[in-house]
Structure 1
Amino acid sequence: MKKNLLVAQSGGPSAAINATLCGVVEMGLEHPEIEKIYGVKNGIMGMLSERFVDLTELLADESARQLLCQTPSSALGSCHMKLSPWEENAFEYEKAISIFRKYNIGYFMYIGGSDSMDTVHKLSEYCRNHHINDIKIIGVPKAIENDLPETDHSPGFGSAAKYIGTTLTEIACDCNVYALPSITVVEIMGQDTGWLTASSALARLNGDAAPDLIYLSERPFSVEQFLFDVREKMMEKRSVIVAVSEGLRNEEGAYLTDSLQNRVEDEFGHRILAGVSRFLEEILRQEIGCKVRSVELNLMQRCASHVASATDIQEACTMGREAVRYALEGGSGEMACLRRVSEAPYASEVFFIPVDQVLNRVKKVPDEWINEEGNDITQEMMDYLIPLIQGEIPCAYENGVPVHFHLS
């Protein structure tokens, strides 16, 4: 009996999450045992509200899928909804299963980060404990912060890293114009990890010196040492550029931004951070007194498809395809991962692990990939990053701006 395939996106958007969706749809279209491919708007929240869209015809044409791959953010929309443990409240799970039955869903692909993998785990555990064996649920990761454990890297990270490296080169071109001394502090996403901030060093690949200093979330941050480091650099050059993770903490473990805002958390208990660059800007202005500016890259880090990494997009698409293949073979309750199988030339492969292996864990930058002073990265970090940003994807333009795929 033919079954239908359901796919949803959740968590923060990225430049590669639609490529994963494209891979899911492509594999679904290739297999006759899948009758229809449904997308659901706004993740698990939309699924429980039956906000379905039939992708079978909508993405049947290759040109539509190609446009989807070059479109940033989540074409199906997103959500941040946390399911209650099914042992405490089974209502949402009973409703989910009834909806799966209504639409004859045999395969559910959930594309997202660590919180989305929590949803995959809970739904698949509910099915296992209630002997529901005909619905296969697979987690397909995306995480621009690259903080998911077990996988070498997550789709979306490579494109974000490429954007950050590119942007730092352009910031350096601007800052180096003037004869007067200046300091520019660039704030980069990373609440508990510094993978994206480390990628700012990619700006050096073609001869630029920026950034001059790099501070990651993994190391305690000392304001006194920071001022010392900046002053030392200013003895060497007139324009100093500093890259910092948004989640910098002091020696006591408190976020530097705790004094600036209320301690707001999202539904999964994650702190909502912003403002560390402005905080440091004010300190530098008071202590050093030259021209100081802060730059917060913000949303642009995850939605800059015009400088997406072809390697990232290709891996994202492959991961979506392999997730469907694995579900068709009977896999469920697992997450797709990437493993490096070759460095020169670079190559990777997809494998699967039980999704509970990634829950409540964070993959941090290895300490040995941070220099001894804690203000830069090592060559090992660069060697890790460089293969992930290679290649560019076609970008269709109309009226002078990129064209994007829209579901409606």
Structure 2
Amino acid sequence: MKKNLLVAQSGGPTAVINASLSGVIWKAMQEEKIDKIYGAQHGIAGVFSEEFVELKACAKKQMEEHFPKKEEESILLSPFGDFLLVKGSTRQEAAYFSRLAQTPAAALGSCRLKLKNPQEDPREFQELLSVFKAWNIGYFLYIGGNDSMDTAWKLSAYCKEQGEDIVVVGVPKTIDNDLEGIDHCPGFGSSAKYIAASLLELERECLVYDTKYVMIVEMMGRNAGWLTAAAALSAEKGSIPYLIYLEEQSFSKEQFQKDVEKALQQSDQVMVAVSEGIKDSNGKFLYTYGREEGNKDAFGHSIAGGAGGVLEQMILEKMSVKTRSIEFNLLQRCAGHLLSKTDVEESFLLGAQAVELAVLGENGKMSSLRRKLSGENSFEKSSGQKDSENSNTGKSPKAGIGYAVEYSAVPLSEVANQEKKIPLSWIGKDGHSLEEEALAYLRPLILGEYSCDFVDGLPQYISFFEKSGK
């Protein structure tokens, strides 16, 4: 008997989380073993409340609304639409799944809900199984980051322990790029592209003034400095000194002030990039200087922000120079107008592969990829990360000379509650730059330009905020 597939999105939204969702729906519609395709609104919370959208029917309806079949021959495809056309989609399908893939944030909605340990209190998991049975769910795909993979892992293990024929597969997502078991995370490449491009634009802002000027820009990344590391791509192309401070290395106020003074001797304009979660040698978050640590999310993580402002005050107390601090904040994670081609295509294919894994019965796995080394660097090479299992589905389109990836699967148990940080060997000896290894890792991830669709001069998006019955 055919089973239904349920997919949900969780955690912080990204510019390409819907590319993975698009890949899931696109592939699931082709699978004979799958009957209905449901989407849970607002992550696992929507599973508990049974707020489901019948995605196959909804997609077909929206497809006709956005791209009428009678006008198919005149539909203008985006570059990603052309990519899907080559994959066997009709022109109408290519246009629709392309628009969904390049819609930022989470089209199904998201949540941050921490489930209890089923060994201590199985009631939540019993309730989830009851919902799955009521809706004939045989496959559950969860798109998310570290905490979401923890949820998927617990649920997959519980289904197995209960002898239930339900396959749970994780689909990676996080701009923080800190998931283990994968070379780089969907969402990171587009955020890195936004950061690097925006810093170069801010550099132009600095250069228009004939005065000494220090611009401080704070990036997201609670415990890992991957996003801030993207500033090294700007420094490589820029024309003023860049000082880059990552949370992987302790911060010294005195050394920072010396770094700024030295940089100002070389140039009247200086760019400072800092991770929001940077700490001093005592392990204290800089953003807590002068105030309490603040609120925490559902998983107990500190809600960071404000390190840039602290650095601004450190400069002003030591030297008389125009200084401005800004936070990229939410803008860096959902910039649909400036997407990495590499990121969109890989995210889509990771979603499609997750469906393949589910149909094959690969319970407790996460759809993954690893870099095929040929002149470019990989995280695996520098960190000693283990080879992934089940390498299978070939290579993504090239994103630069020598760059290609192999799609694979890794056990969720190796991903859940783990955190991947930048190797210390990638940080320059001066403490405020990155080595060539880091740049070689980063460069291919931002290549190629994709963008959300524009209609009448403004972005056009797709979402699934509607309900349906069983």
TM more than 0.5: yes
More displaced, 251-260 or 327-336? 251-260
The CA RMSD measured in Å over matched residues stands at: 1.2
Q: Give the AA of the match of 2:160.
A: R
- Pick closer, same or farther for the CA change 1:219–1:91 going to 2, 3 Å: same
Displacement of 1:284 in angstroms is: 1.0
Which residue of structure 2 lines up, in the alignment, with residue 330 of structure 1? 361
Which residue of structure 2 lines up, in the alignment, with residue 356 of structure 1? 413
Q: Does 1:109 align with 2:166?
A: no
Kept after mapping to 2: 8 A contact 1:136/1:331: yes
Kept after mapping to 2: 8 A contact 1:193/1:365: yes
Displacement of 1:394 in angstroms is: 4.5
Which residue of structure 2 lines up, in the alignment, with residue 237 of structure 1? 267
Which residue of structure 2 lines up, in the alignment, with residue 225 of structure 1? 255
Paired residue secondary structure (1:185)? strand
Displacement of 1:352 in angstroms is: 1.2
Paired residue secondary structure (1:287)? coil
Kept after mapping to 2: 8 A contact 1:201/1:210: no
- Pick closer, same or farther for the CA change 1:317–1:221 going to 2, 3 Å: same
Which residue of structure 2 lines up, in the alignment, with residue 399 of structure 1? 456
Q: Give the AA of the match of 1:364.
A: K
CA deviations on 1:142-199 (whole Å, 9 max, x unpaired) are: 0101001121010000000000000001000001110111111100111111111010
CA deviations on 1:48-78 (whole Å, 9 max, x unpaired) are: 0001001002224423221111110011111
Displacement of 1:274 in angstroms is: 0.5
Q: Does 1:131 align with 2:163?
A: yes
Q: Does 1:80 align with 2:112?
A: yes
Take 2:251 and 2:45, find their aligned partners in 1: how far apart are those partners? 38
Paired residue secondary structure (2:266)? coil
More displaced, 102-111 or 332-341? 332-341
- Pick closer, same or farther for the CA change 1:369–1:334 going to 2, 3 Å: same
Which residue of structure 1 lines up, in the alignment, with residue 21 of structure 2? 21
Residue 303 (structure 1) aligned to one of 334, 341, 350: 334
Which residue of structure 1 lines up, in the alignment, with residue 172 of structure 2? 141
Kept after mapping to 1: 8 A contact 2:241/2:267: no
Take 2:233 and 2:144, find their aligned partners in 1: how far apart are those partners? 26
Q: Give the AA of the match of 1:8.
A: A
Which residue of structure 2 lines up, in the alignment, with residue 56 of structure 1? 56
Paired residue secondary structure (1:241)? strand
Map of 1:194-205 to 2, 5 A cutoff?
A: 194-205=225-236
Which residue of structure 2 lines up, in the alignment, with residue 259 of structure 1? 289
Unaligned runs of 5+ in 2: 64-92, 375-400, 466-470
Kept after mapping to 1: 8 A contact 2:103/2:452: no
Paired residue secondary structure (1:5)? strand
Which residue of structure 1 lines up, in the alignment, with residue 150 of structure 2? 118
Paired residue secondary structure (2:217)? strand
Which residue of structure 1 lines up, in the alignment, with residue 97 of structure 2? 65
Paired residue secondary structure (2:131)? helix
The count of corresponding residues between Structure 1 and Structure 2 is: 406
Q: Give the AA of the match of 1:247.
A: G
Paired residue secondary structure (1:30)? coil
Report the TM-score, using the length of structure 1 for normalisation. 0.97
Paired residue secondary structure (1:305)? coil
Q: Does 1:176 align with 2:207?
A: yes
Q: Does 1:250 align with 2:280?
A: yes
Take 1:96 and 1:35, find their aligned partners in 2: how far apart are those partners? 20
Displacement of 1:220 in angstroms is: 0.3
CA deviations on 1:100-150 (whole Å, 9 max, x unpaired) are: 111111100000000001110111111111111x11000111010100112
Kept after mapping to 2: 8 A contact 1:23/1:320: yes
Kept after mapping to 2: 8 A contact 1:169/1:210: no
Take 1:333 and 1:298, find their aligned partners in 2: how far apart are those partners? 33
Q: Give the AA of the match of 1:120.
A: A
Report the TM-score, using the length of structure 2 for normalisation. 0.84
Displacement of 1:211 in angstroms is: 5.5
Identity of aligned residues (%): 45
Q: Give the AA of the match of 1:142.
A: K
Displacement of 1:373 in angstroms is: 1.4
Displacement of 1:290 in angstroms is: 1.1
Kept after mapping to 2: 8 A contact 1:211/1:243: no
Residue 347 (structure 1) aligned to one of 404, 413, 416: 404
Take 1:277 and 1:254, find their aligned partners in 2: how far apart are those partners? 15
Which residue of structure 2 lines up, in the alignment, with residue 100 of structure 1? 132
Kept after mapping to 1: 8 A contact 2:146/2:415: yes
More displaced, 118-127 or 389-398? 389-398
Take 1:37 and 1:262, find their aligned partners in 2: how far apart are those partners? 46
Take 2:364 and 2:239, find their aligned partners in 1: how far apart are those partners? 46
Kept after mapping to 2: 8 A contact 1:183/1:290: yes
Take 1:282 and 1:259, find their aligned partners in 2: how far apart are those partners? 11
- Pick closer, same or farther for the CA change 1:267–1:260 going to 2, 3 Å: farther
Residue 157 (structure 1) aligned to one of 182, 188, 197: 188
